[in-house]
Structure 1
Amino acid sequence: MRHFTILLFLMLISCKSETKTETENEIDTTVYEMWNSYTKSNPESQTNELPESWYFHMNKEDANRLAQLTLNGKKQASSGLYSWYEEANADLPKVGTKHIITDFDGKAQAIIAIIKVDTIPFNEISEAYAELDMGTKNEALKKWRKAHWDFFASAMEERGEKPTEKMLIVCERFKTIWTKKE
């Protein structure tokens, strides 16, 4: 059961969520359509299997807002707790890995590719990184710290842990490489 809980937390890292029921988790046809469109235009990717698809955050408003920021290239990073990877004995994200970002309803919005992965203490996150993760330049670091502290604290509390200023954050930078066609 502990491993299941850890894996669930890994799914929630970076404010990602897959908390819908099994029926609701069926992959939307737009995900397949987007991947097929991408691989048709990028034949070197045709041998790759369908990337994981998911949405940011845990509610419709935030998931859709963050998908839109990704779609328009403003959101270019995502953050998770290093301890979740350690506890699950999972590899850190790999440069080059692709993901399909969806809205809350599972409709494909964009394909992203990881371009850089760093592990940084919470209190050393820079303003520049926070801008990439939050998709805004307006008090980005202040907003990043509040949103991520609250999210991590809530998740850690369920495990009887408390966040610290020195907790390690897995910082994934990505680029949006394909977007939905209107």
Structure 2
Amino acid sequence: MEQTQAVIPQPVASFWQAFLAQAGLPEHTPLYETFAFGDNEADSSALAALVLAGRKTATASLAWEYGPDRPLPRAGDYSLVIDWQGKPLCVIETLRIDLKPFDHVDSAFAAAEGEADGTLASWRELHWQYFERVCTRLGRQASPGMIVVCERFSRRWPALP
């Protein structure tokens, strides 16, 4: 399935263009999405800080959040991370996508997410709470078997020091 070009909000268009120029990529390089982490400002700021520090190299979402209008990301897709107010922070590239039931997410993935103490136990606790909120919004019921989209990524720009 062919993915469509994300609409680039005007406030971040110059950031995206600067990334393309720095990376030597053509202007028509597709942008998968522009997004802020989490579902509230405090979590968004904390998660973005982990990415900017190089500690967070993975993120998780529910398969139920995707569909015909929002296909799953694929290896090689670029996304632009913004803060809660819409300010561009960095560009990440998807490296790998794995679909796993919630209760099959492993400790290596939990550590790559870089949150809390990096353990699988803390990952499960934090993500269960988050996924319950997502499920409520989607009219779904959280369960240990719900499919999690485990995305590994690399921060591409600005480069880590």
User: TM tier, shorter chain?
Assistant: 0.7 to 0.9
- Report the Cα offset of residue 164 of structure 1: 1.7
CA distance in 2, matches of 1:41, 1:159: 39
Say whether the 8 Å CA contact 1:116–1:172 is kept in structure 2. yes
Q: Which residue is equivalent to 1:153? A: 132
- Report the Cα offset of residue 173 of structure 1: 0.7
- Report the Cα offset of residue 160 of structure 1: 5.1
- Report the Cα offset of residue 51 of structure 1: 5.0
Output aligned runs, 1:44-63, within 5 Å.
44-50=25-31, 52-63=33-44
- TM score, norm. by length of structure 1: 0.73
Residue ranges of structure 2 left out of the alignment (5+ in a row) = 1-7
Q: Which residue is equivalent to 2:63? A: 82
CA distance in 1, matches of 2:24, 2:158: 17
Change over 3 Å in CA distance of 1:154–1:51 after alignment to 2: closer
CA distance in 2, matches of 1:158, 1:34: 31
Say whether the 8 Å CA contact 1:71–1:110 is kept in structure 2. yes
Coordinate RMSD, CA, aligned? 2.4
Change over 3 Å in CA distance of 1:162–1:49 after alignment to 2: closer
Tell me which amino acid in the other structure corresponds to 2:76.
G
Residue ranges of structure 1 left out of the alignment (5+ in a row) = 1-25
Change over 3 Å in CA distance of 1:48–1:158 after alignment to 2: closer
Aligned residue pairs, count: 152
Say whether the 8 Å CA contact 1:111–1:177 is kept in structure 2. yes
- TM score, norm. by length of structure 2: 0.81
CA distance in 1, matches of 2:115, 2:74: 25
